Amino acid sequence: MDEEQLDQWKYSRQVRPRYHHRECSRSPAGQGYLRSRTEPLECRDLLIQNALFTGDLERVQKYFSRNAAVNLIIETKGDELRWTSRKFGLWSLSYEQELTTPLHITASRGYADCLRLLLLRGAAVNFAPGGKTALHEACAAASTDCVSLLLSFGADPEAVSEDGYKPMHLCKSPESIECVQQLLQHGASVNSRTEEECDTALHVAARHGLIDHVRLLLCHGAELEAKNEEGQTPLNAACAQPHQPQDMERYYKVCQLLVESGASINAADRDRQHPLHLACKNANAQVAELLLARGANVNIMNYSGNTALHNILQATAYKLDHHPELVVQALLNYGAIRIWPGSLLKVLWYCHACPRVIEVLMNSYDHVRVSADWVEAVPVEVVQVREGTLLAGMWDMWDVLGELGQGQARPSALQGRGQRCWG
């Protein structure tokens, strides 16, 4: 109860209207308007809020005249739920309350005209009642015009948010490339880190597959081998990030640029995961081929004792659209140690949804020992759904393999790695 009372006291102190006047000064852009130094007030006027959220410049001009208070605090509901108690002893889940300002609202929505008006009216450019500055909001929204405006009015490009992020760390979309350029031109450090994850901007760009960002940051001296809290380099971060099939090309280009710039292809994170382990876990055959061609150790184990081949087989059922068989083929072609024959039943059990993976793997053996358990490993409904495909052929393969009691059988069309045996 004491903690609850303390929180409420802090909250009331934060949003209570106060009229503590200070001296006035001219705006940083030199337009001659006097900057109000009145302590911020809480704004609950829905008309004002609606004008800000919709970017209605005419109404914003009306509500924020030269003599009006411009550094208002507006309380909004965030996206996250938390336990709160408005009355002592009654706790319930409610959306977390966030504090924002007119400057933050217009910057986050790209309303450059409204933002300019508020700045000329004396809005505090680095004010951060909710833990972020307006520059953080503009960068997250990839609003280049708003970023440029805020920086020209003295926004701090190195301001740290409550979560430990600087504005450049929030440039996570392809459209934010010009925001990064603006930040760098105004003195932002290219190698600054987030407080908790210890990510650099290069980590962030690589993780989101932003090839133009990576190129720009490297040109400004970004550290290739900087490691974050998890021990990941930017190359590790790019290989580790799950992505959709349509994004595989983007991540390949990012990894290619990092490797060609000198990134270590065998850099291990805290779990001893190498870039090859991570690329195989995400079933990106292009990245795997790139790393293997550059000399990545195909049989090195991570902390769990898994090789890259183990990783792709474990992920096969969840990455069907990524064509995991291409990853298996590449690993075998570069000398991956094959799965112990006694474990093939387990592979068949977990990978039967992708017949091509089984086909490529089986073609790497001269002899395959089978048993009745193999038939039971593939559900009948799966074979029926895939009638006419490889799995349907595999269902009939048991007759080709001979009597189950004979112990061994040789696939009839075996001609070497990667060639089709059945179906």
Q: How many CA atoms lie within 13 A of 164 on its CB side?
A: 8
Please check the confidence at residue 21 and state whether its pLDDT lies above 80.
Answer: no
Distance (Å) of CA 312 to CA 124, 138, 147, 374: 52, 39, 42, 21
Element (H, E) at 79: strand 74-87
Write out pLDDT tens, residues 184-199. Answer: 999 999 999 999 999 9
Contacts of 144 (CB under 8 A, 6+ apart): 178, 179, 182
The residues, any chain, with a CB within 8 Å of residue 11's CB and separated by 6 or more, are none
Q: Looking at residue 88, what is its pLDDT?
A: 55
Residue 110 confidence (pLDDT) above 50: yes
* pTM, full prediction: 0.79
CA dist., res. 234 & res. 217, Å (int): 12
* Domain 1-189 shares a fold with domain 199-337: yes
Sign of CA dihedral 324, 326, 329, 330: negative
Task: Tell the burial category of 422 from Cβ atoms under 10 Å away from its Cβ (0-12, 13-18, 19+).
Answer: buried
Residues 224-259 pLDDT 10s: 999 999 999 999 999 999 999 999 999 999 999 999
pLDDT of residue 3: 58
CATH class given for the domain over 1-189: mainly alpha
Whether the pLDDT of residue 81 is over 90: the answer is no
pLDDT in tens, 367-377: 877 777 777 77
Chosen CATH of 199-337 out of 3.40.710.10, 1.25.40.20, 3.40.50.300, 3.30.450.20:
1.25.40.20
Any idea where the domains of the chain sit in the sequence? 1-189, 199-337, 340-423
